[in-house]
A and B are shown apart, each in its own frame.
Chain A
């Protein structure tokens, strides 16, 4: 099932452009940079960076997109009440999973 065909996502409107999505039955998987502000997903995979875990970005955590900065700046996400700014490259390495209805 292609991600774009899934119309029963319960967390906001997603921007699938330039995303490499894989959808398991009952789940869709996208990278964190594809989230729209205010939407969230469960972290399933992280890029190689020792600091991410210490800042709260760990597998199994719920990551919410807060905003994207202008001029190609970082994205701002929220995990467990902590607000973190991270580069788009790092963000592209974070995979999230959603439960489909």
Chain B
């Protein structure tokens, strides 16, 4: 195992951005605190050799008053991670279980939040590990009329300081050089001993000694806008406008990409060639039908993931990245906090919910940043039950936009009201104190195009790896079932529920089976079934509430254990059939 260097600092100071620059990896980066909820590790090449750099979730102190702080202390003391259940090790690094004593600490000091940042640094320095300080966000401090004097800081704390701008990658090479120059052999540590908190007055005096003021504080347009966006007027009307624009951007850009770029491309340049090739090398019959027939594995297996779902992955993650990097999401959380409280949630719960519209897994992980188990449980249940992931949303739009826009709106309205009902019920059922809001609102920043594009590209790669292949496998299963007649038998078997109770055609049993693999597979096969408007609504409603995919269940098990995973499975299965059946039965009575 290579030796480790800990990357530490307050929340939202640019640690993960620096981690990505130093290791070449893609840890989640956003402009709000609590983005890093897992210990990510990557390799950093220094003069002394390769080291394992661990991105430690941001903490305000080392007083072990919460799980994140306990993990940070454990890592500094280099024993086992004792705080189980909240913070887990990321799969890409070798940091599971027993940890060896770190060789050094790379501390990210936030020039924009100097006093709190120095407070934590003083606690880190008490561990007597070789330390290098990356002085980050000096540009924001500059806007506030002061700058940190690097020489004075070095003199005060006695460790090397390098000025960086993590989002741009400035100072990264100098940082590596500084790490290369220090002796990465640990001195004696203060194991198993609580670090005494420094006095705030002493830290504030220190901060005054290391800054140079160069003029009065001026407020630029970005700061003024940041201030306005958090006020009910004009913040709330702007928030509604922003939400409408998000919907328009995701749906509009996605549909545009699908309709004018990807579908024409595949229909003109890909599918005819595949059909010709398969027709030339196979005889009409089972194999040819499995490959290019109604559920043709080589046609639908490409069309569904890459022409119908991928456009929405692209449009959603561009929009989400803009929201994340600008620092607007916590503002939305604050504006809607009062409304959220009425259903037992805190406003910052909007962040995992919005992430859930992308994919449930990162959304569930991000609930770790919420400090109450009750909050985590409510939001996780809402996500699993009624928040369609972007693949499923793409499938809904593909299925419903052309057939019936009112049904499409009704499905999303059903999702919205279900979330409110679920949260209200769970708020009464789950015990726990009411949420108490206390968050720092980050600076409003202009998102960097390169960062937005990088995140989008990373999401596309992740979709191809984790989403497209299971979807292709699902299409292959559907093709085999359809062509061998097993689909009809399965439809017959499930006919009392699918036909009798839900009013769907017998073959709709297949998407219900495939849906366990990927959520969008409960929707996409319905496109091939020539359904009535009522059947579309019933099918889409069942799909909306139906079980989360296998990967989500695994995530639930890891985060909350067996009971909740089974509970969610039961709730989603029963809920899906109950809602779908109720809609059909009610419509049958009045029609």
Contact = CB atoms under 8 A, between A and B. Distances in A.
A67 B232 contact: yes
Contacts of A15: none
The size class of the interface chain B forms with chain A is: 20 to 34
Interface stretch (A3-11, A16-24, A25-33, A48-56): A48-56
Interface string B436-449: 11111100000000
A66 B65 contact: no
A73 B347 contact: yes
B341 A85 contact: no
A89 interface: yes
B393 interface: no
B299 to A, nearest CB: 51
Contact of B334 (A51, A52, A53, A69): A69
Interface stretch (B112-120, B278-286, B582-590): B112-120
Chain A, interface SS category: mixed
Contacts of B439: 84-85
Contact of B217 (A51, A66, A81): A81
A53 B200 contact: yes
A70 interface: yes
B334 A89 contact: no
A66 B230 contact: yes
Given A74-B337, A76-B334, A81-B144, A87 B438 contact: yes
B119 A54 contact: yes
B253 interface: no
Given A49-B438, A71-B338, A90-B436, A76 B116 contact: no
Interface centre among A82, A84, A85, A87 (most CB of B within 10 A): A85
A83 B440 contact: yes
A11 to B, nearest CB: 19
Given A50-B63, A70-B232, A84 B438 contact: yes
A83 B232 contact: no
Contact of B116 (A55, A68, A83, A86): A55
Contacts of A52: 438
B438 A85 contact: yes
A83 B338 contact: no
Interface string B328-363: 000000111111011000010000000000000000
Interface in B280-323: none
B436 A71 contact: no
B227 interface: yes
Contacts of B335: 69, 73
A72 B338 contact: yes
Contacts of A74: 334, 337-338, 347, 437
B334 A85 contact: yes
A84 B231 contact: no
A87 B433 CA distance: 14
Given A69-B334, A71-B339, A87 B230 contact: no
A73 B235 CA distance: 13
A71 B345 CA distance: 13
Nearest to B337: A73
Interface centre among B200, B339, B440 (most CB of A within 10 A): B440
Contacts of A90: 436-438
Interface in A57-101: 58, 66-74, 76, 80-87, 89-90
Interface in B102-116: 113, 115-116
Contacts of B217: 81
B61 A54 contact: yes
B236 interface: yes
A54 B337 contact: no
B557 interface: no
Contacts of B337: 69, 73-74, 85
Contacts of B200: 53, 58
Contacts of B436: 87, 89-90
A49 B227 CA distance: 25
A69 B232 contact: yes
A92 to B, nearest CB: 12
A53 B334 CA distance: 20
A76 B439 CA distance: 10
A69 B227 CA distance: 13
Interface string B374-393: 00000000000000000000
B240 interface: no
Nearest to A51: B438
B417 interface: no
B141 to A, nearest CB: 10
Interface in B221-241: 226-227, 230-232, 236
A38 to B, nearest CB: 11
A86 B217 CA distance: 25
A40 B217 CA distance: 18
B416 interface: no
Given A71-B339, A76-B334, A83 B230 contact: yes
Contact of B341 (A73, A81, A83, A86): A73
A32 to B, nearest CB: 13
A56 to B, nearest CB: 7
A80 B116 CA distance: 12
B341 A72 contact: yes
Given A71-B339, A87-B437, 9 more contacts: A55-B438, A56-B113, A70-B232, A82-B113, A84-B438, A85-B334, A85-B437, A85-B439, A90-B438
Interface of B: 10, 60-61, 63, 65, 113, 115-116, 119, 144, 200, 217, 226-227, 230-232, 236, 334-339, 341-342, 347, 436-441
5 contacts: A56-B116, A71-B342, A73-B437, A83-B440, A85-B347
